[in-house]
């Protein structure tokens, strides 16, 4: 019996890191990134008077790598969406880092506890489209949140033929979905390629309930870890694999 084949859907370069983690655990990863990242150049960071920075994706840190305001932004306190982003933030140069629970929706209570609106605006550096309206949630409490868009993500239009065939045949039996937009793209492509009715036993491992909601209507089995962390998602995959 061959290794369990797991579809990796996140954008590069994170797809390669996730694939390495899967191989180390004894799985066979199949890479099919569903979003392509476009970094935007020459965007000012709007840091005047800011008391802290909010970052909800490692891609935002990649976009900042050669930004002319790199040192200025790294001098501010950072609110990071989760542990992986916090680690990348420290590597980037942030020295004061507060770690969120792994989702954008989990950040407002932490921000409210740690800082006060009167101390100045917050700057959210990230993508053109966001999974959670952080700005709306914080503005209700009197915060000013400036959004700085440093990258866009573009959904792919088709799945590779080999991936479609392996999904339909059951050769690929597990898929990892780490963002709502990726999950929506996977749902759309699964329908487009006609694999929904053929794929009876596919299990979608979703980082959060919001992600699961994008694929559950198609009838796929969905699994969500208790905490929105990639290591917990992989541990859930391990637990299911050992009991099957």
Higher local confidence (pLDDT), 92 or 1: 92
* Mean pLDDT, residues 175-190 taken together: 96
Q: Is 157 left (phi over 0), alpha (psi -120 to 50) or beta?
A: alpha
Residue 153 backbone phi and psi in degrees, to 5:
-120, 135
Residue 132 confidence (pLDDT): 86
Element (H, E) at 98: strand 97-99
Burial group, residue 87, by CB count within 10 angstroms (0-12, 13-18, 19+):
middle
Confidence of residue 131 (pLDDT cuts 50, 70, 90): confident
Per DSSP, what are the bridge partners of residue 203?
174, 221
Which residues is 155 bridged to in the sheet?
35
Q: Which fold would CATH assign to domain 5-34+156-243? A: Rossmann fold (3.40.50)
CA atoms within 13 A on the CB side of 244: 11
Distances (CA, A) of 125 to 39, 43, 130, 152, 238: 12, 11, 11, 12, 34
What does residue 160 show for φ and ψ, rounded to 5 degrees?
A: -60, 145
Predicted confidence at residue 153, as pLDDT, reads: 92
Predicted confidence (pLDDT) at residue 178 exceeds the cutoff of 80: yes
Q: Is the pLDDT of residue 244 over 90?
A: no
pLDDT (0 to 100) of residue 1: 53
Alpha carbons within 13 angstroms on the beta-carbon side of residue 108 total 15
Q: How far apart are CA 4 and CA 83, in angstroms?
A: 27
Q: What is the DSSP letter of 27?
A: -
The reply to whether 37-153 shares the fold of 5-34+156-243 is yes
In 3D, which of 116, 117, 114, 80 has the Cα closest to residue 100?
80
Supply the pLDDT for residue 243. 83
pLDDT of 177 > 90? The answer is yes
Residue pLDDT, tens place only, 183-204: 999 999 999 999 987 777 899 9
- Strand pairing partners for 39? 151
Instruction: Calculate mean pLDDT across residues 194-222.
Output: 91
**What are the phi and psi torsion angles at 16 (to 5°)?**
-65, -40
pLDDT at 16 > cutoff 90? yes
Residue 122 three-state SS: strand
Closest CA to 117 of 154, 146, 145: 145
Q: Is the peptide bond before 13 cis (omega within 30 degrees of 0)?
A: yes
In Å, how far are 49, 75, 122, 130 from 71, measured between CA atoms?
A: 16, 6, 17, 25
Q: In which region does residue 170 sit, left (phi positive, over 0), alpha (psi from -120 to 50) or beta (all else)? A: left
CATH architecture type of domain 37-153: 3-Layer(aba) Sandwich (3.40)
What pLDDT is attached to residue 2? 75
Q: Where are the domains of the chain?
A: 5-34+156-243, 37-153
Compute the average pLDDT of residues 122-148.
Answer: 93
């Amino acid at each position: 019996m061959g290794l369990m084949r797991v579809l990796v859907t996140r954008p590069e370069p994170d797809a390669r890191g996730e694939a390495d983690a899967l191989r180390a655990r004894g799985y066979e990863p199949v890479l099919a990134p569903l979003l392509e990242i476009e970094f935007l150049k020459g965007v000012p960071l709007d840091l005047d008077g800011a008391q802290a920075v909010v970052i909800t994706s490692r891609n935002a840190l990649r976009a900042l790598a050669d930004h002319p305001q790199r040192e200025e932004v790294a001098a501010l306190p950072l609110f990071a969406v989760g542990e992986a982003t916090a680690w990348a933030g420290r590597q980037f140069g942030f020295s004061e880092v507060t770690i969120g629970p792994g989702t954008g929706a989990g950040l407002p209570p932490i921000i409210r506890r740690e800082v006060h609106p009167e101390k100045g605006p917050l700057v959210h550096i990230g993508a053109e489209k966001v999974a959670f309206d952080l700005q709306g949630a914080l503005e209700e409490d009197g915060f000013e949140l400036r959004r700085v868009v440093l990258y866009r993500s573009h959904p792919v239009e088709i799945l590779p033929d080999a991936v479609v065939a392996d999904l339909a045949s059951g050769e690929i039996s597990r898929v990892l979905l780490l963002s709502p937009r990726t999950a929506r793209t996977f749902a759309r492509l699964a329908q487009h390629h006609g694999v929904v009715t053929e794929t009876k036993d596919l299990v979608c491992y979703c980082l959060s309930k919001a992600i699961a909601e994008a694929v559950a209507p198609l009838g796929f089995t969905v699994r969500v870890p208790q905490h929105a962390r990639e290591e917990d998602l992989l541990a859930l995959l391990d637990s299911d694999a050992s009991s099957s």
